[in-house]
Amino acid sequence: MSKHCPHQDWDPRADTVLDDQLAAYDAMRQRCPVAFSDYLQWSLFRHEDVKRVLEDHATFSNAASRHLSIPNAMDPPEHTRFRRLIEPYFAPGPMRDFEPLCREIAVELIDSLPAEGELEVMTALGHPFALRVQCAFMGWPDALHVPMQAWVERQQAATLAGDREALGRLALEFDGVIRSLLAERRLAGALAPDDVTTRLMNERVDGRALTDEEVVSIIRNWTVGELGTISACVGILLRYLAEHGEVQARLRREPELLPAAIDEILRIDAPLMSNRRVTTCPVEIGGRRTEAGQRLTLLWGSANRDEAAFGDPDEFRLDRDPSLNLLYGAGVHVCPGAPLARMELQLFTQALLKHTRQLASVVEKPATRARFPAGGYSQVRLRVTL
């Protein structure tokens, strides 16, 4: 394969790609594993190439955003200082404290379902669970649920349309909501609730207080990312269990297998399709030479299905080496919120299997896949028997 930069190896926005991203990425992994396009620049499809980028933050910088993004778009040592501040929020103690409320939210949602019948999973469970559980974790009032859901829908529509102007307005709107929450807590003083949002706004880094801009950036990254990925995970998990009765039956019998099973299902069908990096110097990867300042798109949805790492990518196995699964990334930028996401998904799936008798797919209404940059499904219809 030529080392010179081609004009276009593929079109990530072609309908044939967007209609079934995973199938398209499987094909690209064989045909052109490091591919150039005007839209994404360099896309990496192979596990070994993605893993190399994740573990070499000096050559492949995470500072790929035009806006302040803490700590997502930072490199060490700046990244290290903020990670040190953030990681305690997802430590075992806070997770134990939040577990009862998280379980309660899951059970309430499932108990509200009709005793038997067809439902659209994303609307009935995916989006409401992600929204309610994230607001609860942050300590936000229930009154935010409806406007936040409306904001999420507008944000998803603007993302799919590639409407940068609308995305800019939505970002400012979301930042305004967070700033209002911070102002309310400052006004309350000692009477402010002792929750994650209050504690975060009182944090210090390098001996100084965080600026409002920094607090807003951290909360934005936690919240927007959580709302999209957790809802996508719910849709993927329920669809998979409905279509694989033997896996569903086994997990009903052996719920202790859920942590490994959830990670494996989300390896097979990615909730988050991609992430970005920028090269800091000329470098060759996968036989292709890239110059400094080139954008790389790491395609989790392909790397986690690479035959070289996993054999048959669609085979469900619980004995895989967990270090190979890039669901939450790897290296210094591995997702700090992974313990929270894993707990939420385990409690949700556990409650669902405990409080239902059967999940079945609606054959005549197949699931509709989400389109890039989203992963998972925009619509999943199931028959649920309580």
> DSSP letters along 15-76, please?
HHHHTTHHHHHHHHHHH-SEEEETTTEEEE-SHHHHHHHHH-TTTEES---SS--TTTT--T
Length of the chain: 386
Looking at 140-292, list the stretches that DSSP marks H as alpha helix, in order from N- to C-terminal side: 145-161, 164-188, 196-201, 212-243, 245-253, 258-268
Q: pLDDT 10s per residue in the chain (386 long)?
A: 344 555 799 999 999 999 999 999 999 999 999 999 999 999 999 999 999 999 999 999 998 887 888 898 899 999 999 999 999 999 999 999 999 999 999 999 999 998 888 999 999 999 999 999 999 999 999 999 989 888 888 988 887 787 889 988 998 999 999 999 999 999 999 999 999 999 999 999 999 999 999 999 999 989 888 888 999 999 999 999 999 999 999 999 999 999 999 999 999 999 999 999 999 999 999 999 999 999 999 999 999 999 999 999 999 999 999 999 999 999 999 999 999 999 999 999 999 999 999 999 998 999 999 988 889 999 999 999 98
pLDDT tens-digit profile of 194-207? 999 999 999 999 99
CATH numbers and ranges of domains, the chain: 15-385 (1.10.630.10)
Check residue 3 and give its pLDDT.
Answer: 46
Phi, psi values for residue 379, rounded to 5°: -150, 130
pLDDT tens-digit profile of 67-78? 888 898 899 999
Check residue 2 and give its pLDDT.
Answer: 42
Q: Is the dihedral of CA 32, 17, 382, 229 positive or negative?
A: positive
Distance CA 210, CA 221 (A): 16
Q: Give CA separation, 101 vs 87, 93, 107, 343, in Å.
A: 21, 14, 10, 12
Distance CA 97, CA 195 (A): 12
Distance CA 359, CA 361 (A): 7
Distance CA 165, CA 171 (A): 10
pTM above 0.85, yes or no: yes
Check residue 121 and give its pLDDT.
Answer: 96
Chain mean position to CA 303:
15
Tokens 């009477």 sit on residue:
191
Distance CA 30, CA 198 (A): 49
